Amino acid sequence: MAAHRPVVEPGPRYVKGHCGGDGFLLLLDPGNQVALSEGAVRGLCHPRTGLGGDGLLRLTAAGPGKGPARTRGEWFVDCRDADASHSMVCGPGAGFAARYLTVAGLAGPGALWIGTRLGDQRVTVDAKGRTTVEMPTPRVLGTAGVTADGESFPGTLVSLGALHLVCVMDHPVSYLDFTKEPQPDTAAFPKAVGVLVPAADMVFVNVLPRGSLRVRAYRPGAGEIRPGGAAACAAAAAFQHAAGRRETTVVENVMGALTVALDASSATLLTGPAGVAAEGVLDARWLAAL
Protein backbone atom coordinates (compact mmCIF):
# COMPACT_ATOMS: atom_id res chain seq x y z
CA MET A 1 0.00 0.00 0.00
CA ALA A 2 1.36 3.43 -0.93
CA ALA A 3 2.27 5.74 1.92
CA HIS A 4 -0.25 8.46 2.68
CA ARG A 5 0.84 11.87 1.51
CA PRO A 6 -0.55 15.09 3.02
CA VAL A 7 -3.00 16.68 0.60
CA VAL A 8 -2.88 20.16 2.11
CA GLU A 9 -0.14 22.59 3.00
CA PRO A 10 -0.91 23.34 6.66
CA GLY A 11 -2.37 26.80 7.16
CA PRO A 12 -4.49 28.34 9.91
CA ARG A 13 -6.49 26.06 12.19
CA TYR A 14 -10.24 26.49 12.16
CA VAL A 15 -13.28 25.55 14.22
CA LYS A 16 -16.89 25.31 13.02
CA GLY A 17 -19.97 25.62 15.16
CA HIS A 18 -22.90 27.80 16.15
CA CYS A 19 -24.15 30.30 18.71
CA GLY A 20 -27.36 32.27 19.03
CA GLY A 21 -28.88 30.64 15.96
CA ASP A 22 -25.98 31.62 13.68
CA GLY A 23 -23.34 29.32 12.20
CA PHE A 24 -19.70 30.37 12.29
CA LEU A 25 -16.28 29.53 10.96
CA LEU A 26 -13.63 30.53 13.51
CA LEU A 27 -9.98 30.93 12.49
CA LEU A 28 -7.49 30.54 15.34
CA ASP A 29 -4.87 33.30 15.07
CA PRO A 30 -3.40 33.87 18.54
CA GLY A 31 -0.42 35.77 17.13
CA ASN A 32 -2.54 38.09 14.95
CA GLN A 33 -0.68 37.00 11.80
CA VAL A 34 -3.46 35.86 9.43
CA ALA A 35 -4.44 38.46 6.84
CA LEU A 36 -7.71 37.80 5.03
CA SER A 37 -8.81 39.47 1.80
CA GLU A 38 -12.50 40.08 1.15
CA GLY A 39 -12.37 37.30 -1.43
CA ALA A 40 -10.96 34.91 1.16
CA VAL A 41 -13.77 35.70 3.60
CA ARG A 42 -16.44 35.17 0.94
CA GLY A 43 -14.76 31.99 -0.29
CA LEU A 44 -14.44 30.48 3.17
CA CYS A 45 -18.08 31.23 4.02
CA HIS A 46 -19.44 29.88 0.73
CA PRO A 47 -21.48 26.72 1.45
CA ARG A 48 -20.28 24.80 -1.62
CA THR A 49 -16.81 26.02 -2.61
CA GLY A 50 -15.74 26.83 0.95
CA LEU A 51 -16.54 25.59 4.43
CA GLY A 52 -19.77 27.56 4.85
CA GLY A 53 -20.95 29.88 7.59
CA ASP A 54 -23.14 32.88 8.36
CA GLY A 55 -19.97 34.67 9.35
CA LEU A 56 -16.22 34.31 9.73
CA LEU A 57 -14.44 34.99 13.01
CA ARG A 58 -10.72 35.46 13.57
CA LEU A 59 -9.69 34.90 17.18
CA THR A 60 -6.51 36.56 18.44
CA ALA A 61 -4.85 37.01 21.81
CA ALA A 62 -5.40 40.48 23.26
CA GLY A 63 -3.05 42.59 25.32
CA PRO A 64 -0.26 45.10 24.63
CA GLY A 65 1.03 44.60 21.09
CA LYS A 66 -0.93 41.37 20.57
CA GLY A 67 -4.33 42.25 19.14
CA PRO A 68 -5.80 44.75 16.69
CA ALA A 69 -7.59 46.73 19.41
CA ARG A 70 -7.50 47.31 23.15
CA THR A 71 -9.83 45.18 25.25
CA ARG A 72 -10.31 44.43 28.91
CA GLY A 73 -10.29 40.68 28.20
CA GLU A 74 -7.60 38.26 27.07
CA TRP A 75 -9.08 37.62 23.61
CA PHE A 76 -10.21 39.64 20.60
CA VAL A 77 -12.47 38.39 17.80
CA ASP A 78 -12.72 40.06 14.41
CA CYS A 79 -16.28 39.44 13.16
CA ARG A 80 -17.04 39.43 9.43
CA ASP A 81 -20.31 38.66 7.69
CA ALA A 82 -20.39 36.13 4.86
CA ASP A 83 -20.24 38.97 2.30
CA ALA A 84 -16.91 40.07 3.87
CA SER A 85 -18.31 43.23 5.48
CA HIS A 86 -17.52 43.95 9.11
CA SER A 87 -20.42 42.66 11.19
CA MET A 88 -22.73 45.18 12.82
CA VAL A 89 -23.87 42.58 15.38
CA CYS A 90 -20.95 40.84 17.12
CA GLY A 91 -22.78 39.26 20.06
CA PRO A 92 -23.29 35.74 18.63
CA GLY A 93 -19.77 35.74 17.16
CA ALA A 94 -18.24 36.70 20.49
CA GLY A 95 -20.46 34.04 22.08
CA PHE A 96 -19.13 31.31 19.81
CA ALA A 97 -15.56 32.42 20.45
CA ALA A 98 -16.24 32.19 24.20
CA ARG A 99 -17.82 28.75 23.80
CA TYR A 100 -14.74 27.54 21.92
CA LEU A 101 -12.47 28.88 24.66
CA THR A 102 -14.38 26.95 27.31
CA VAL A 103 -14.40 23.72 25.26
CA ALA A 104 -10.67 24.08 24.60
CA GLY A 105 -9.92 24.62 28.29
CA LEU A 106 -8.65 28.16 27.70
CA ALA A 107 -11.40 29.67 29.87
CA GLY A 108 -13.80 28.34 32.46
CA PRO A 109 -17.61 28.54 32.44
CA GLY A 110 -19.01 31.84 33.64
CA ALA A 111 -18.64 35.41 32.46
CA LEU A 112 -15.78 36.65 30.32
CA TRP A 113 -14.99 39.61 28.12
CA ILE A 114 -14.30 39.27 24.40
CA GLY A 115 -13.00 42.27 22.48
CA THR A 116 -14.59 43.19 19.10
CA ARG A 117 -14.35 46.13 16.72
CA LEU A 118 -17.64 47.37 18.21
CA GLY A 119 -16.23 47.27 21.73
CA ASP A 120 -15.94 44.72 24.51
CA GLN A 121 -18.68 42.08 24.65
CA ARG A 122 -19.62 40.44 27.93
CA VAL A 123 -20.44 36.77 27.37
CA THR A 124 -21.69 34.18 29.86
CA VAL A 125 -21.28 30.46 29.14
CA ASP A 126 -22.89 27.98 31.52
CA ALA A 127 -21.69 24.45 32.27
CA LYS A 128 -24.03 22.99 29.61
CA GLY A 129 -22.86 25.34 26.88
CA ARG A 130 -25.82 27.71 26.84
CA THR A 131 -24.45 31.12 26.06
CA THR A 132 -25.80 34.58 26.85
CA VAL A 133 -24.60 37.52 24.77
CA GLU A 134 -25.41 41.21 24.67
CA MET A 135 -27.12 42.43 21.51
CA PRO A 136 -27.71 45.97 20.20
CA THR A 137 -30.82 47.55 21.67
CA PRO A 138 -33.58 47.20 19.04
CA ARG A 139 -35.08 50.49 17.85
CA VAL A 140 -38.61 50.50 16.45
CA LEU A 141 -38.55 53.01 13.57
CA GLY A 142 -42.09 52.84 12.29
CA THR A 143 -44.31 50.75 10.03
CA ALA A 144 -44.12 49.55 6.45
CA GLY A 145 -45.83 46.83 4.46
CA VAL A 146 -44.53 43.95 2.40
CA THR A 147 -46.10 41.92 -0.39
CA ALA A 148 -45.24 38.22 -0.20
CA ASP A 149 -46.80 35.20 -1.90
CA GLY A 150 -49.47 37.42 -3.47
CA GLU A 151 -50.62 38.94 -0.17
CA SER A 152 -49.90 42.20 1.60
CA PHE A 153 -48.81 42.21 5.24
CA PRO A 154 -48.31 45.12 7.62
CA GLY A 155 -44.90 45.22 9.23
CA THR A 156 -42.76 46.95 11.83
CA LEU A 157 -39.31 48.32 11.03
CA VAL A 158 -36.74 47.40 13.66
CA SER A 159 -33.08 48.39 13.62
CA LEU A 160 -30.25 46.59 15.39
CA GLY A 161 -27.70 48.43 13.30
CA ALA A 162 -28.98 46.32 10.39
CA LEU A 163 -32.59 46.88 9.40
CA HIS A 164 -35.38 44.30 9.73
CA LEU A 165 -38.99 44.50 8.54
CA VAL A 166 -41.01 42.26 10.87
CA CYS A 167 -44.45 40.99 9.83
CA VAL A 168 -46.57 39.13 12.37
CA MET A 169 -49.08 36.98 10.49
CA ASP A 170 -51.97 34.66 11.26
CA HIS A 171 -51.48 31.82 8.80
CA PRO A 172 -48.41 29.58 9.21
CA VAL A 173 -45.15 31.08 8.01
CA SER A 174 -44.26 27.63 6.67
CA TYR A 175 -46.93 28.11 3.97
CA LEU A 176 -45.24 31.18 2.45
CA ASP A 177 -43.93 30.65 -1.08
CA PHE A 178 -40.73 32.63 -1.67
CA THR A 179 -40.43 31.61 -5.33
CA LYS A 180 -41.11 35.26 -6.11
CA GLU A 181 -39.10 37.70 -4.00
CA PRO A 182 -41.17 39.54 -1.37
CA GLN A 183 -41.46 43.27 -2.08
CA PRO A 184 -41.24 45.73 0.84
CA ASP A 185 -42.92 49.12 0.58
CA THR A 186 -39.68 51.11 0.77
CA ALA A 187 -41.58 54.36 0.14
CA ALA A 188 -43.03 53.98 3.65
CA PHE A 189 -39.61 53.56 5.29
CA PRO A 190 -39.00 56.43 7.73
CA LYS A 191 -36.26 58.89 6.78
CA ALA A 192 -34.49 58.11 10.06
CA VAL A 193 -32.92 55.02 8.53
CA GLY A 194 -30.48 57.36 6.79
CA VAL A 195 -30.32 56.01 3.23
CA LEU A 196 -32.58 56.38 0.21
CA VAL A 197 -33.60 52.73 -0.27
CA PRO A 198 -32.19 50.69 2.59
CA ALA A 199 -31.87 46.94 2.43
CA ALA A 200 -33.97 45.23 5.06
CA ASP A 201 -34.19 41.57 5.98
CA MET A 202 -37.87 40.60 5.99
CA VAL A 203 -38.88 38.56 9.03
CA PHE A 204 -42.22 36.71 9.01
CA VAL A 205 -43.52 35.68 12.42
CA ASN A 206 -46.15 33.41 13.95
CA VAL A 207 -47.10 33.86 17.60
CA LEU A 208 -47.60 30.37 19.03
CA PRO A 209 -50.21 29.50 21.72
CA ARG A 210 -47.79 29.86 24.64
CA GLY A 211 -46.40 33.15 23.39
CA SER A 212 -43.25 31.86 21.73
CA LEU A 213 -42.41 32.89 18.16
CA ARG A 214 -41.82 30.93 14.97
CA VAL A 215 -39.81 32.82 12.35
CA ARG A 216 -38.81 32.71 8.68
CA ALA A 217 -36.51 35.31 7.12
CA TYR A 218 -35.83 36.56 3.61
CA ARG A 219 -32.92 38.74 2.47
CA PRO A 220 -33.29 40.73 -0.76
CA GLY A 221 -30.87 39.46 -3.37
CA ALA A 222 -29.94 36.37 -1.35
CA GLY A 223 -33.25 34.57 -0.88
CA GLU A 224 -34.51 32.80 2.22
CA ILE A 225 -31.95 32.77 5.01
CA ARG A 226 -31.78 30.90 8.29
CA PRO A 227 -33.10 33.31 10.95
CA GLY A 228 -30.32 33.92 13.44
CA GLY A 229 -29.84 36.00 16.56
CA ALA A 230 -30.51 39.40 14.98
CA ALA A 231 -33.76 38.19 13.38
CA ALA A 232 -34.84 36.66 16.70
CA CYS A 233 -34.20 39.94 18.53
CA ALA A 234 -36.01 41.96 15.86
CA ALA A 235 -39.01 39.62 15.98
CA ALA A 236 -39.14 39.77 19.78
CA ALA A 237 -38.86 43.57 19.75
CA ALA A 238 -41.73 43.97 17.26
CA PHE A 239 -43.89 41.51 19.18
CA GLN A 240 -43.24 43.19 22.51
CA HIS A 241 -43.72 46.65 21.03
CA ALA A 242 -47.18 45.62 19.77
CA ALA A 243 -48.01 44.11 23.17
CA GLY A 244 -46.89 47.28 24.96
CA ARG A 245 -44.58 45.54 27.40
CA ARG A 246 -40.96 44.45 27.78
CA GLU A 247 -40.36 40.86 28.78
CA THR A 248 -38.54 37.68 27.81
CA THR A 249 -39.64 36.04 24.56
CA VAL A 250 -38.79 32.55 23.32
CA VAL A 251 -38.02 32.21 19.61
CA GLU A 252 -37.93 28.80 17.95
CA ASN A 253 -34.68 27.96 16.14
CA VAL A 254 -33.46 24.84 14.38
CA MET A 255 -30.35 24.87 16.59
CA GLY A 256 -32.37 25.14 19.80
CA ALA A 257 -34.76 27.63 21.36
CA LEU A 258 -33.49 31.19 21.82
CA THR A 259 -34.65 33.57 24.54
CA VAL A 260 -34.59 37.33 24.07
CA ALA A 261 -34.75 39.52 27.18
CA LEU A 262 -35.55 43.17 26.46
CA ASP A 263 -35.28 45.79 29.16
CA ALA A 264 -35.31 49.53 28.56
CA SER A 265 -32.82 50.09 31.37
CA SER A 266 -30.26 47.42 30.46
CA ALA A 267 -28.71 45.54 27.55
CA THR A 268 -30.70 43.21 25.33
CA LEU A 269 -29.71 39.63 26.18
CA LEU A 270 -29.85 36.72 23.74
CA THR A 271 -29.52 33.25 25.27
CA GLY A 272 -29.30 29.96 23.43
CA PRO A 273 -27.21 26.88 22.74
CA ALA A 274 -23.67 27.13 21.39
CA GLY A 275 -21.51 24.26 20.26
CA VAL A 276 -18.39 23.20 18.40
CA ALA A 277 -19.05 20.80 15.51
CA ALA A 278 -15.64 20.35 13.91
CA GLU A 279 -12.07 21.59 13.80
CA GLY A 280 -9.30 21.21 11.26
CA VAL A 281 -6.56 22.87 9.24
CA LEU A 282 -6.97 25.03 6.14
CA ASP A 283 -4.87 24.49 3.04
CA ALA A 284 -2.51 27.50 2.95
CA ARG A 285 -2.23 27.35 -0.86
CA TRP A 286 -5.99 27.28 -1.33
CA LEU A 287 -6.46 30.17 1.12
CA ALA A 288 -3.78 32.28 -0.60
CA ALA A 289 -5.47 31.75 -3.96
CA LEU A 290 -8.87 33.06 -2.84
pLDDT at 196 over 50: no
Q: Sign of the CA dihedral 268, 80, 77, 21? A: positive
3-class secondary structure, 287? helix
Q: What is the DSSP letter of 82?
A: T
Counts for the chain of helices (H) and strands (E), in that order: 4, 17
Provide the percentage of residues in the chain whose pLDDT is more than 90. 69
3-class secondary structure, 76? strand
**Mean pLDDT, the chain, integer:** 89
Please tell me the predicted confidence (pLDDT) of residue 204.
98
Report the predicted TM-score, pTM, of the whole model to 2 decimal places. Answer: 0.90
How far apart are the two ends of the chain, measured CA to CA in Å? 34
pLDDT at 63 over 70: no
Please tell me the predicted confidence (pLDDT) of residue 191.
64
**CA pair distance 11, 33, nearest whole angstrom:** 11
pLDDT one-digit tens code per residue, 222-262: 899 989 999 999 999 999 999 998 889 999 998 899 999 99
pLDDT at 49 over 90: no
Q: What percent of the residues of the chain are helix, what percent strand, and what percent coil, each to the nearest 5?
A: 20, 40, 40
**CA pair distance 215, 194, nearest whole angstrom:** 27
As a whole number, mean pLDDT of residues 104-115 equals 94
Please tell me the predicted confidence (pLDDT) of residue 266.
74
- Chain length of the chain: 290
Q: What is the DSSP letter of 17?
A: E
Please tell me the predicted confidence (pLDDT) of residue 117.
86
Domains (ranges, CATH) in the chain? Answer: 10-134+273-289 (3.10.310.10), 139-266 (3.10.310.10)
Q: Give the pLDDT band (50/70/90) at residue 24.
A: very high
pLDDT at 197 over 50: no
3-class secondary structure, 124? strand
pLDDT one-digit tens code per residue, 143-195: 999 999 999 999 999 998 889 999 999 999 999 999 999 999 888 776 654 44
**CA pair distance 48, 174, nearest whole angstrom:** 26
As a whole number, mean pLDDT of residues 259-266 equals 84
3-class secondary structure, 13? strand
